Amino acid sequence: MQKVLIAAVVLLLVAGNVSALEASAVKRALDRGGNWLIEQFDLKEKVFGKGEQAKDVVTVAMCVKALCDNPRDYKETSGPFISEPVKYILAQTGEDGKLKGENAAKLEAYAWVVEALKATKNEQYSATVGKCVTVGRAVSGSENAEIAQLKWDIAVLRSEMAALPKDTWRTGNANVVAKGGPSTPEAVWIDDGASAVALLKFQQKNGSFSDDIRAHAVFLIHLNRCYRAMK
């Protein structure tokens, strides 16, 4: 009996060490991924990356959420790479909570804006968040739209990845596949914190998970969620 108990204790200790090592690996990946995203910040344009997609408020909101949820707990006081994009988001939001341009009719745009502003943990934006929730619900045509407390579950993340260009998953992924890593979004999103380690095979030497800013941000958002579950 004593030998069995000792063996059980050893197994628990080993499992605990493995879990700690996995969490440490995910945190390092989040550090590198966060640093890469910060490096993409364009101070002049107040956005991440280049091109029209970079100026889309959805892209900006994704990046803000990815960084604010990072274990480093980046916030507006951390630097212009958070404070300026937040100002950009607010500038794209009318006083009535309605977003400008094509995003005015997109529920997901309101959802990302709400999530980004909430992630800053700045109470000054609570009124704007409330207005965006109201307008978002009207856009959805349902008073029950869960925009106020949007759940970024596995289905939502898969939906975001499915909307990305196919090249995001095919170009430059030969090494990932060779290492046994997943090659499609459906294979990647495993609803298990410890399985986040599988996602690390996508990380490039420069710290990015994809040259596509949105794809990279979604990777970080998912890994942030997994890391919190692993702690």
d(CA 40, CA 51): 12
Q: Each residue of 12-63: pLDDT tens digit?
A: 333 344 477 688 888 999 999 999 999 999 999 999 999 998 999 999 999 9
Q: Where are the alpha helices (DSSP H) in the chain?
A: 2-39, 52-55, 57-68, 80-91, 107-119, 126-140, 154-162, 167-170, 174-178, 185-188, 213-230
Please give the average per-residue pLDDT across 78-107, as a whole number: 95
d(CA 111, CA 16): 37
Q: What residue spans define the domains of the chain?
A: 2-230
Residues 6+ apart with CB under 8 A from 25: 197, 200
Residue 214 structure tokens = 């949105």
Q: Each residue of 117-172: pLDDT tens digit?
A: 999 999 999 999 999 988 988 887 766 555 544 444 445 555 655 555 544 443 33
**Inter-helix orientation angle 57-68/2-39, to 10°:** 140
Provide the b/e sequence for 72-103 (b: ≥16 CB within 10 Å).
eebbbeeeebbbbbbebbeebbeeebbbeeeb
The C-alpha angle 21, 22, 28, rounded to 5 degrees, equals: 90
For residue 41, give the H/E element and its range.
strand 41-42
**pTM, two decimal places:** 0.77
